[in-house]
């Protein structure tokens, strides 16, 4: 009977869901980017959007957390992390192409907008865990991260790792200002924060018909042998 039990167990394992995986965006680090996580406290509330090309995701996924990097800041002697403050982070789908975001923030949103994080971020962090995971389906378009900085503490460093490669899978539109503190100007360009998404499959993987048949057959034989032994 043991071979049949092993066979059924193997089929069940084969039908188990795929493991969580990281999906990273961004090319060669070009330096530190101050917006939106370290230098947006001057004109709160301030808004920032970054596009991520959907085709770099293998399929529909839940996004559980996002991480940023600080190698350029650390190399320059700075600490490099998200500045403490109050943030609203939303995800949505956009029909805009890479490097094609417009300067009207709301017009960049094509649908499926949902709050990922809303609250206070403490000091020394590079990771934002979602209060609610976001389900992203790349067949609907590209992914849009929409950040509103409600308040932010001043910090002594200027930003997190970014790439300026026009084909690295990211681009952005952001609220900035010319010094000294003139009214905000909205700008769109090819830069983007290097970002890693912590993801997992959107549904429990459905067993293949062959696996289901294998499990059913194995369990049926286990029952038959068990009954014979009792007899």
**pLDDT tens track for 51-80:** 999 999 999 999 999 999 999 999 988 888
8 Å CB contact between 160 and 38: yes
So what's the pLDDT on residue 163?
95
Burial class, 107, CB count within 10 angstroms (exposed 0-12 / middle 13-18 / buried 19+): exposed
Q: Is 10 helix (H, G, I), strand (E, B) or coil?
A: helix
In CATH terms, the fold of domain 18-204 is: Jelly Rolls (2.60.120)
Global pTM reads: 0.80
| Residue 156 to residue 79: CA distance in whole angstroms | 9
For the record, the structure tokens of 175 come out as: 């609220």
- Residue appearing with tokens 């350029």: 72
| 104 pLDDT tier (thresholds 50, 70, 90) | very high
Q: Which residues contact 19 (CB under 8 A, 6 or more apart)?
A: 200
Closest CA to 36 of 77, 88, 73, 72: 88
* Angle of the 209-230 helix axis to the 2-14 helix axis, nearest 10: 160
CA 29 → CA 69, 112, 195, 219, distances in Å?
A: 10, 31, 11, 54
| 39 pLDDT tier (thresholds 50, 70, 90) | confident
| 178 pLDDT tier (thresholds 50, 70, 90) | low
Length of the chain: 231
For the chain, the domains span: 1-16+207-231, 18-204
Higher pLDDT, residue 222 or 141: 141
| 176 pLDDT tier (thresholds 50, 70, 90) | confident
pLDDT tens-place string over residues 121-134: 999 999 999 999 99
Q: Mean pLDDT in the chain?
A: 84
Q: Does 204 have pLDDT greater than 60?
A: no
So what's the pLDDT on residue 211?
47
So what's the pLDDT on residue 76?
86
| Residue 174 to residue 117: CA distance in whole angstroms | 19
- Beta strand residue intervals within the chain, DSSP E: 21-25, 31-33, 46-52, 61-68, 85-94, 111-121, 127-136, 142-152, 160-163, 170-176, 185-189, 192-193, 195-201
Q: Does 36 have pLDDT greater than 50?
A: yes
So what's the pLDDT on residue 188?
95
Determine the average pLDDT of the residues in 195-218: 66
Please give the backbone phi and psi of residue 148, each rounded to the nearest 5 degrees, phi first.
Answer: -115, 125
């Amino acid at each position: 009977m043991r071979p049949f039990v092993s066979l059924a167990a193997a089929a069940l394992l084969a039908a188990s869901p795929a493991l969580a995986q990281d999906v990273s965006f961004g090319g060669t680090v070009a330096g530190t980017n101050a917006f939106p996580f370290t230098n947006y406290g001057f004109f709160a509330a301030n808004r920032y959007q970054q596009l991520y090309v959907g085709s770099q995701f293998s399929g529909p996924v839940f996004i559980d957390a996002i991480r940023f990097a600080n190698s350029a800041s650390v190399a320059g002697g700075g600490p490099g992390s998200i500045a403490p403050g109050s943030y609203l982070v939303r995800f949505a789908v956009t029909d805009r192409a890479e490097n094609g975001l417009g300067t009207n923030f709301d017009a960049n949103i094509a649908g499926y907008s949902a709050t990922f994080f809303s609250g206070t971020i403490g000091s020394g962090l590079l990771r934002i865990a979602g209060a609610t995971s976001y389900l992203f389906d790349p067949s609907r378009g590209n992914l849009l991260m929409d950040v509103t900085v409600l308040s932010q503490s001043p910090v002594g460093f200027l930003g997190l790792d970014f790439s300026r490669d026009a084909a690295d899978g990211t681009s952005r539109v952001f609220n900035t200002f010319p010094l000294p503190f003139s009214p905000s100007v909205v700008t769109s360009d090819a830069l983007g924060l290097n970002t890693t998404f912590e993801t997992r499959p959107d549904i429990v993987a459905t067993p293949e018909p062959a696996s289901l048949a294998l499990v059913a057959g194995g369990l049926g034989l286990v029952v038959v042998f068990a009954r014979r032994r009792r007899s």
